[in-house]
Amino acid sequence: METLVHRSEIFRNLALTAAAAVGASPAWKNVGPGTTQAGTAVVQAELARRAHVMELFNRAAGQLGDDKMEVRLAAIYILGEITVDFPDLSGSVFKLLENQLDRKMADFDGGRAPFDARAIAEVVAKEGER
């Protein structure tokens, strides 16, 4: 009789283990999509941020040639911030600023440098400090 009770306990424990495994399987499968959705949301947020930065870059590049000094200065400082937040874009930003500086300095008569040329030099100097 004792052997029968012992065997029934073993059978009961195996049945409980199997039931737990069967119950855990759907729960585990539900974790997968949630994790995947969270990962996808992070990737989408990063892509949206990069798209926004590219829009800022394009707008700032267009504003470098504006007639108003304030607009040009804002564009220069925005481009400088882009190099801080996105170092992989710094090469493009600095080439753009270098071309703008060359264009500004071609008209330079030897007096005090224009405000926007000094702002470009300031942005480049900050990058050199990092």
Q: What are 31-56's pLDDT values in tens digits?
A: 655 567 777 888 899 999 999 999 99
Question: Which residue has tokens 């409980």?
Answer: 16
Task: Tell me what pLDDT residue 99 has.
Answer: 92
Across the range 97-102, mean pLDDT stands at 91
Asked whether the predicted pLDDT for residue 73 surpasses 80, the reply is yes
Task: Quote the pTM value.
Answer: 0.66
Asked whether the predicted pLDDT for residue 104 surpasses 60, the reply is yes
Across the range 112-130, mean pLDDT stands at 85
Task: Tell me what pLDDT residue 7 has.
Answer: 74
